[in-house]
Amino acid sequence: MSWREFLKGKNKKRDVIYFSLKLMDNLIFIHDSLSNKTYNHSGYYAFKINDPKPRNIHKALVSDRVVHHAVYRILYPFFDKKFIYDSYSCRLNKGVFKGLDRFDQFVFRVSKNNSRNC
């Protein structure tokens, strides 16, 4: 399940293709190392992009990103219940546009139906 979630939009990337060539071996290795408590997160690959502005990116290996998805799937339901209602980043059925809509509601309320500045 975590592999399928991770794969969305990434199936043409070189590192993902190499990982998928021995998919079952790689997934079994991840499973065994997690089960045996011998899993160690690898280092990050650093590179720069200019889209639309210059940024430094640090990218984990595919195996580590699959583990990130597995951990997220387990922890998300617990932590999501702890967040305040108006937390919108990286949450299911929320996001930037819903956050902006909620902001507009606050502005409308504080400005007394747009009759004064806020």
Give the span between the Cα atoms of 42 and 36, in whole angstroms. Answer: 17
Q: Number of H helices and number of E strands within the chain?
A: 5, 2
Q: What are phi and psi of 47, to 5 degrees?
A: -155, 170
What's the pLDDT tens digit per position in 7-59? 887 878 899 999 999 999 999 999 999 999 999 999 999 999 998 899 999 99
Percent of the chain with pLDDT over 70: 100
Write out the H or E segment, with its range, that includes residue 50: strand 44-50
User: 110 CB contacts (<8 Å, ≥6 apart)?
Assistant: 118
Residue 113's pLDDT is 82
Higher pLDDT residue, 69 or 118?
A: 69
Exposed, middle or buried by CB within 10 Å (0-12, 13-18, 19+), for 61?
middle
